[in-house]
Structure formats: structure tokens, C-alpha cells
Chain A
């Protein structure tokens, strides 16, 4: 046994090595650099490798003095969390409903595959295109506004449809509901249909079956989908930039702004803060379910 194990270990390392190397060079080391550089000093045109907490201090500048009012950075994070929560809630409701329909109401395998493909295909189209696709609909002279005006519902075009928080949430839901549908669907098709039959026979109503049988069993999918959506939205700066008309501040946007100003250590400090918050949320969520077991 021991004799056989050795070469197979070696082969396994050889096989997994290339992937490990890519993650080492392009993920783990860069992540370490983000943390290290966040403690570096900087001036207008270069970063200076000497230890300082300037990046963090400047981020929270004036926050204590302003209490109990919130300073800009805290307001920004609060807004990011709010956007994140809204998008999470909406994608969860839509994702759960769509997955439920596909898993429990579509009986033929072929139809199940066809309908899931229909949901998957847009995921493979550029996010930017799916964002700008809303412009002809939501713009000042867009379909929605001109339709509403013609129908006499409003007399002048609504201004808040595009380049607003509403537009950001709408676009994020449009882009990322897929990440909720797939994991929930995956957990749901593994539910033994006889359990539902049993609940029905025991006199449970449809709603009771849903809350006592289906939701607990679909929980892993719900958690995995939530982790996806939350981490994407927390770090997003492209959607918020394009759909918010570059006017809405969010955690990802702060990093981008700092980067454009070439303040790398400051950007890194904000990245570390964002990473910390994201990991706290994930840690809370993953206490609910063992991610590795569910694959």
C-alpha cells in the first residue's frame, strides 16, 4: 500500500501543480501584496516601501470627530451594504422561484435542460452589453418613459429610471440572478420527491411543505448562491459606475478612484477593508452549511 501511494502522490502533484502555480502567482502572492502595500507610504507618483498606517488613517479621516454623524467612508459602506442587501433579496426571491419551477414543475428532462439553457445563455454575454441594453429602455426618451407619457400616466419623463440607484439594482439583478438560480436548482433536483409526497400524505399544506421540507433541503444552494451574489455586488464597480452615471459611491468605486489617482497604498488599504467585510459575511453564511460537502 505504502509503495503504491508514493508514485500516485507524485503524479497527483504533477497533475494539480500547474493550477496550483497559477493560483500562487496570480492570486495568493497578489493578495499578499495587497495586504503588504496597504501599509506602505506613497507620494504623487510612486509608492514608498516603509511601514505606515496612512492608507487606513486617511480612509477614516475625521470619522471620530464627526460622530454621531457618519463620515463619507462609513456612509459609502452603508450604501454598499444596502445595495447588496436589496440585490441579494431580489435575486433570492426570483432565483428560488425560477429554480423551483424548473426543478418541480418541469417533468421532462429535455425541457429541463432546454429551459435552464435559456437562463444560462445571457450569462455568457458581456456584462457591459447587458448594462447598456437598459439605456434605450430606461433613458429619458426611452421606451418606458415614452410609453408612460403616451399612456397619460405621467406628464414628463421620470428622471430616476436611469443613472440612479434604481438602475444599479435593476442591472445587478439582471446580471447576477443566474448565480442564484444554478446552485438552488442543483440542491432542489437532489431532493427526493418521495419526501414531498410524504409531507403531502401527512396532511401538510403546500406552504407547509415549502417551509418545512423544501427550503431546509435547498439551504446549501441558497447559501452558495448568496455567497456568490454578495461577493460580486460588494466588489462591483463597473455596474455601479455605468448604471449610476459615475455618481454613486460604493466600496468598489472607492478602490477604483484611488487607483486612477495612482494612490496604490490607499487603494490597497480600502481593498483590505472590503476583503475583511466580505469575508465576515461569508464566514457567517458558511456557518450555515459545509460548502465542500455540497459539491
Chain B
């Protein structure tokens, strides 16, 4: 295979690869197309006219669920998850470059969080908050918060249990990406900064961060999109309000019209927007790096 020309196996594998890509994208394209069905169209081909009816219906309200509200909830949650994932992952990634007590424990916890079936994590968080709720209702008065004990319904919510559930899914990815980054990071750059008298913070701010920034954008991309599309971990842990994927799952059993495809198209569009914005940012940052890196040798002698 390292010889001149392409062996037969290349063409066979290229064909298999093409089939795989078709398999990946084909079904998704089908629903994107079908979401533009005419008003009389149903859930299957052939198309019955072309229109924006189903999108209008989605955002016009009056549907089965309030899609608009769920959309903004998911977006807000996704952004918060993204920011926390970036900050905590970068910080922890820095920590792992030193040897510290408990590093193996944190590493295996992160891996375990990634591979313990989502429904178990979700169930655990739900149970934790239930026990917490009961404790507050029972004991808040004793602790001198009588008003709290009366008004307390649940501690579960989008930005408590829901946020936590999403973070158990995004942080392991963030940490693994940080490992990949620092595996090929040249430590001598930091040494040079230190030798020039930079404080640890200055070293991080002006040397390390600009170099790792493209990959940090990648962590943000993972954080947002994993949260935006997350379902299994939120299913029990989010309380009474639903995110967009949960609404979507609820719709699969009840809706028989292409609204659901329109909703699918809209959520995919947001995912794609974020992916391409992130890729563009990464490309831009890498370009800037190349430009700035190149003047290292070409400066004044």
C-alpha cells in the first residue's frame, strides 16, 4: 500500500467508505427535505408540494408543546454548560500536567462518568434531589428557615440538577481533549516565559492560552452541542421543565405530521451553525498563530 499507484483495495475501501457516509447522511437528509412538505403532506415521500407551513406552525405556537420556550431553555443551558466545561476542563487539564495526589482518582472518576449508562447517572441525581427535598421539608424549620420549609417544592431544575447532569457528560470529553492538547505541548515555551520573569498567570495568559486556544474552542463546541442534544441524562434529572430533545422525544409517540421533522431541521440547523462557527474560529486562531509564530525567526537579528 506504500507503493506507487493505488491498489485495488483502495477502491474497494473507498466504495465502502462512501456507502458509510451515505448511510450516515441519507436518513437525515430525508427529514430535512420532508420538513418542507406542503400543507397536505404527510410523514413520507413523495413530497406533496413545497412550503414552510410546518416551520410556521412550530413557531406560531398553539402546537402540542411550547417549542419556543423549550428552544430558549436548551440554548441558555447549552451556553452555561459550554462555559463551565471550558473553564473547568482547562483548569483540570493544567492540574494534570503536575503530579498531584488524587489525580488517578479524578481520572478514573471522569472515565467512569463517561461509561456508566446515562440512565443510572440520571436516576442517581433524581434520587439525590428527592432526598434533599425531603430533608429540607422536614428539617428546614428546625434550622430556623420556617418560610423555606413551607415554600420548598423541589431543588431540581434546569440550572441545578439539569446542569449537573449535563456536566457529568461534557466534562470527561473536555478533560480527554485537554490530555490530547498537552500531549503535544512544548513545555520549553513556558520555561522560556518563566526565565524572562513572567508570573505563572502571565505565562498562562500570554503563552499557554494563545497556543491551546484553537483546541479550547473545540472543547466549547463539544460542551455546547453535547448539552444541546442531550437526552438520556436529562430524562429523570431535569425536573418539571423540558429541554428541546426531551420535547422532541415526547413528540415521537404522538405527532403524525411533519412538525416533528421541522423541529428536527431547526435543532440540526443550530447544531450545524455552532459546529461551523467553531470550526471557523479554530481556523482563524490557527492562522493567527501561524502568522505570529512565523516572525520568531525573521525578526531583527
Q: Which A residues lie at the B interface, using CB under 8 A?
A: 8-9, 11-16, 18-20, 22-23, 25-34, 37, 47, 94, 97-98, 100-102, 104-105, 115, 117-119, 121-122, 124-137, 139, 141-143, 146, 174, 177, 193, 196-197, 200, 206, 227-228, 231-232, 234-238, 242, 246, 252, 255-256, 259, 264, 267-268, 271, 274-275, 278, 282, 291-292, 295
Contact = CB atoms under 8 A, between A and B. Distances in A.
Interface in B87-112: 87-89, 91-92, 94-96, 98, 100-103, 106-107, 109-112
Nearest to A121: B275
Nearest to B166: A26
Interface stretch (B65-73, B127-135, B144-152): B127-135
Contact of A101 (B13, B113, B235, B248): B13
Given A15-B94, A98-B17, A255-B123, A23 B43 contact: no
B123 A282 contact: no
A19 B252 contact: no
Do most interface residues of chain A lie in helix, strand or loop, or is the interface mixed? helix
Contact of A12 (B34, B98, B164): B98
Given A33-B128, A128-B245, 15 more contacts: A20-B102, A22-B168, A23-B168, A23-B171, A26-B121, A27-B113, A29-B124, A125-B271, A130-B27, A132-B260, A133-B31, A135-B43, A137-B30, A143-B45, A228-B114
A259 B237 CA distance: 11
B25 to A, nearest CB: 7
B218 to A, nearest CB: 11
A15 B106 CA distance: 12
Contact of B119 (A11, A28, A227, A271): A271
Given A22-B167, A27-B113, A174 B24 contact: yes
B128 A30 contact: yes
Contacts of B10: 105
A127 B176 contact: no
Given A136-B31, A196-B1, A31 B168 contact: no
Contacts of B14: 101, 105
Contact of A206 (B9, B130, B261): B9
A278 B112 CA distance: 11
B229 A105 contact: no
Contacts of B225: 124
Contacts of B96: 16
A125 B115 contact: no
20 contacts: A12-B95, A16-B91, A19-B110, A33-B128, A34-B127, A117-B279, A118-B21, A121-B275, A124-B274, A126-B231, A126-B271, A127-B231, A129-B268, A130-B27, A132-B264, A196-B2, A232-B117, A235-B232, A238-B249, A282-B115
Interface in B19-76: 20-21, 23-28, 30-31, 34, 43-45
A234 B117 contact: yes
Interface of B: 1-2, 9-10, 13-14, 16-17, 20-21, 23-28, 30-31, 34, 43-45, 87-89, 91-92, 94-96, 98, 100-103, 106-107, 109-121, 123-128, 130-131, 161, 164-165, 167-168, 171, 175-176, 179-180, 183, 200, 221, 225, 228-229, 231-232, 235-236, 244-245, 248-249, 252-253, 260-261, 264, 267-268, 271-272, 274-275, 279
A31 B116 contact: yes
Contacts of B128: 29-30, 33
Nearest to B248: A128
B44 A142 contact: yes
Contacts of A47: 130
A271 B92 contact: no
Q: Is the interface of B mostly helix, strand, loop or mixed?
A: helix
Contacts, number: 270
Contacts of B20: 94, 97-98, 119, 177
Tell which of A31, A97, A118 has the most Cβ of chain B within 10 Å. A31
Nearest to A122: B24
A42 B260 CA distance: 38
A252 B119 contact: yes
A275 B31 contact: no
